[in-house]
Amino acid sequence: MQPALINREKVQEILGGISRTTFYKKRKQWEQQGTPFPEEVKEFSPVKGGMIYRYGDVMAFCQKKGLI
């Protein structure tokens, strides 16, 4: 069973264990390229490990970009 929501730290692991700084730089780069990273889930406050993202959105983005 896949999780529905994941935190920023887990996203960084999915992206190859990149640092928080690299993650934010990549997000800006992807946005400038016209393929923005999925939005954070606004209904939840940040938790330990950073902002919350929808797992399905993150995985779809990574597949579209050829990252996984």
| Average per-residue pLDDT for the chain | 91
**Model pLDDT for residues 25-53, shown as the tens digit of each residue:** 999 999 999 999 999 998 887 778 889 99
C-alpha dist (Å) from residue 35 to 15, 29, 32, 62, 65: 16, 9, 7, 11, 9
Residue 53, domain extent = 5-65
User: d(Cα 36, Cα 60) in Å, to the nearest integer?
Assistant: 12
Tokens in use for 25?
Answer: 């730089």
Give the number of domains in the chain. 1
